[in-house]
Amino acid sequence: MKKRIVAALLCVSMVGLMLMGCAGTRDDGTIKVGITIQNLSNAYWAGVMGKLEQEMEARGWEYTIVGCDNNAGTQVGQVENFIISGCDLIMVHPADAQSVEGICSEAMEADIKVMCWDDPMENTTANWVLDNTELGREIGKTASEFINEHYTKDEKAQVTVIGYPSTKVLLERADGIKEGLEENCEDNYEIIAEVDGLEAPEAQTNVETVMSAHPDANVFVGVCAGAMIGSNEALLAEFGKGKIPENYGVITTDVTLQQLDSLKAGNEAVRAIVGFEGSNEDTAKACADMFERILSGDDFSSGKNICRAIGPITPDNVDQILKGM
């Protein structure tokens, strides 16, 4: 079984390897899948793709997984290579959905099935999506439970929202977070800052800046794993492990081993995570099952946007999730 994970745009010298992985074997019944995602260096994606590799190998499929480093032009080239190499299914996690609509249309015209992860694209067989505004509301609701436990109208939580507005789905999550806070808090919080934090180092730097300008900043709510990891590191640097006040907290989404370990430890700032499906193993299996549905010819004409399940991960269920990481 051939397998390759490639982390950047395939150069001309790599095209031959891709052709070996996907081309020329359509008659033997082997399924060939091409996957392009935003960034393989992201901890969440690295974990999920590792488990998805195992799922596809167990099903006897050949596959190529590439990251486009959040570059839409790179991603278009990757999909072109998948088309040339004759893959049966292409999965796109788009850096910019509009930019890849055209090339995905070409794939469909070549009788290749196309699935989009995260965005409700037009030129696909089906989209496996999060309702990112609803996910944000769930993050806000989960943060509100923490805030309502520790704060009052007279002593309001000083909230920082950590987002990444240049990416549409993350902007939707941040907007949902603010809606969730407004809907569920008891007039006991105020948003004192909104900062970027897609990756952990950026989030840590920006949270440290907020804490310097607002010494009372105490609740950090974000759109991704990097927001949680960076905020947690900033608070650990400020207070030390085991010394973070119990009314300080970080609540975000994504599910990485580092996040779960911090939640389980109980002596850091991570209070809850809003996850999807469950563990990386659960997500990979659900994704591969979607591939199966698409490849078997399921009819998505009545609605091709298939929403993923979401739910909170807390100290009460973290051990169960860790088993599948």
Domain range summary for the chain, segments of one domain joined by +: 3-124, 132-277+314-322
pLDDT tens, residue by residue, 68-94: 999 999 999 999 999 999 999 999 999
List CB contacts of 126: < 8 A, sequence separation 6 or more: 115, 116, 290, 293, 294, 298, 300, 304, 305, 306
Number of other residues whose CB lies within 10 A of the CB of residue 275: 24
Q: Rounded mean pLDDT of the chain? A: 91
User: What is residue 169's predicted lDDT score, i.e. its pLDDT?
Assistant: 85
For the cut 90, the answer to whether the pLDDT of residue 185 exceeds it is: yes
pLDDT tens, residue by residue, 283-296: 999 999 999 999 99
Quick one: what percent of the chain has pLDDT higher than 70? 92
**CA-based nearest residue to 80, from 96, 98, 62, 66:** 66
User: What is residue 42's predicted lDDT score, i.e. its pLDDT?
Assistant: 82
**CA angle in degrees (0–180, nearest 5) for 201-47-178:** 55
CA distance 135 to 276: 9
Which residue type is seen at 188? N
Length of the chain in residues, anyone? 325
For the cut 90, the answer to whether the pLDDT of residue 63 exceeds it is: yes
Whether pTM exceeds 0.75: yes
pLDDT tens, residue by residue, 46-59: 999 999 999 999 99
User: What is residue 16's predicted lDDT score, i.e. its pLDDT?
Assistant: 37
Q: Which residue has the tokens 């070409």?
A: 106
Report the interhelical angle of 43-58 vs 280-295 (nearest 10°). 50
Query: Sorting pLDDT into bands at 50, 70 and 90, what band is 141?
Result: very high
Q: Which CATH superfamily is domain 3-124 in?
A: Response regulator (3.40.50.2300)
CA distance 130 to 120: 9
The CATH architecture of the domain made up of 132-277+314-322 is 3-Layer(aba) Sandwich (3.40)
pLDDT tens, residue by residue, 25-42: 456 789 999 999 999 988
Is residue 202 a contact partner of residue 224, using CB atoms and an 8 Å limit? Answer: no
List CB contacts of 298: < 8 A, sequence separation 6 or more: 126
For the cut 60, the answer to whether the pLDDT of residue 15 exceeds it is: no
**CA-based nearest residue to 182, from 161, 213, 204:** 161
User: What is residue 43's predicted lDDT score, i.e. its pLDDT?
Assistant: 81
Q: Which two tokens stand for residue 265?
A: 């430890």
pLDDT tens, residue by residue, 151-184: 999 999 999 999 998 888 899 999 999 999 999 9
Number of other residues whose CB lies within 10 A of the CB of residue 153: 9
| Mean local confidence (pLDDT), 298-311 | 93
CA distance 117 to 33: 14
Query: Sorting pLDDT into bands at 50, 70 and 90, what band is 249?
Result: very high
**CA-based nearest residue to 37, from 132, 135, 119:** 119
| Mean local confidence (pLDDT), 193-221 | 97
